[in-house]
Every structure is written in structure tokens, then in C-alpha cells.
Homo-oligomer: A and B are copies of this chain.
């Protein structure tokens, strides 16, 4: 890296790294070369490289992890928690192509699920009344963004077939005559992902996930769905804007 151009060397190194990232030479989530390697590549002292990396980190283009290395930050999609939960609309608003992989769909007695108590209470189910459980993976431009478990009362006529036939939940519900549905309440926590979740989300084992428990109702305010969703925290942030 030539000197004496009137621009600080670290600035030009930072600019070069920005280009490397923007061009995709280093994939989002990927690791940058160690500081020593960068120093020799640019023929500067390691401290100069560090100054450049700090600059990128400040702009959140990379995250520097003590003892591990520096990693290109993945672009974070902001998900606004508002009245209508609509995965596809959200992703499309960010100019990405949404897709919902249906992983499984089955009818089951909630007693066989760990969330039995909550499910019965929220959906107002009698003992032994079955539910439909839909497992879904949401992707944006083929990058996994969410894993969700949707629990519906099985008594809803034709829902099983509708969920199989339509790509989105909104469309499936519309087919059985539910034109609109609303978020009543969301409960947000976070936890570490299971190995299976890591595989499905293409996630490292040490990256926590946001966990949302959503209660959704029809426009007439009858309980419709309980949804457990997880989001890799490096890819999704939840936005809340209180209105009243």
C-alpha cells in the first residue's frame, strides 16, 4: 500500500476492505484473514490494519471477536412487530424474495407437545381436541431467516388441505374464509438453538436466536393460531413502535 498520497493509509485499507466485502469477495458471515495476514498483504504494521478494522466495526460492517477473528456482518432485516404478521410482505418490503419451506404438517393432540398448557388455554381447546401443527422455514433470497411452528385448532374446516395447497398462511386462511388475522400478543425471549435448528437455519452453534410466541386472532377476535418462531439474531432484529 503506497504512502504519501495525502490520505491516511488506514483509510485506504478500510476502503479496500469495504470493497472486498461489497463485492462479495468475503461472504456475509465469513471470516476475514487474521490481522497479521492483512498486515503482510498491505505491507503495513498490524496496528494500521487494526485501525482500519476498528473503522469497519464502528460501522457494523464487521464484528471483531476477541481471540476468534473478524467476521463480515450479515445484513440484518428489521421486522416490525405490528398488528398483522405477514412474513412474505415483510421480506418483500426489504426487496428480497421470500419463500416458505413447509417442513411438516400433521394433526396432533396438544398433550403430546411440550407447550400443551399454553396451547389449550390460548386456543380455547377442550381436552383431547386435536390441533394442526405446521413447521415452516422462512427464507429471503434463499437465506434462512426463521423457523416457525404454527398451531391451529384442527376443527377449522379444510385448513389441512389449504395449508398444503398454498405457499403462504395468509392464502391458506383466505381459502377457508378467513380474510384477515391479527396479532394479539407477542412474547419475546431468546435462547440457544438446537443442533437441528442450526442445520435448518445454517447457523453456528454459538449464535443465539430470538424466540417469539405469537397469539394471533381473527378479525372477530376469536383465537386462531399460536405461533412459535425463532430468528437468528445476526440476521433479524425486531422493531417495536408503540402507538398509544
Q: Mark A residues whose CB is within 8 Å of B.
A: 57-59, 76, 78, 81-83, 114, 116-117, 182-192, 206, 208-210, 233, 237-244
Contact = CB atoms under 8 A, between A and B. Distances in A.
Nearest to A186: B240
Name the residue among A82, A237, A240 with the largest chain B CB count within 10 angstroms: A240
Given A78-B187, A192-B208, A209-B190, A244 B244 contact: yes
Contacts of A243: 83, 242-244
20 contacts: A58-B114, A78-B187, A82-B242, A83-B244, A185-B240, A188-B188, A188-B210, A188-B237, A188-B239, A188-B240, A189-B210, A189-B237, A190-B208, A190-B209, A190-B233, A192-B208, A208-B208, A208-B233, A242-B243, A243-B243
Contact of A241 (B184, B192, B241): B184
A239 B82 contact: no
Q: Which 3 A-B pairs have the closest CB atoms?
A: A208-B208, A190-B190, A188-B238
Count this chain's copies in the assembly: 2
A191 B191 CA distance: 9
A238 B114 contact: no
A5 to B, nearest CB: 24
Contacts of A190: 190, 208-210, 233
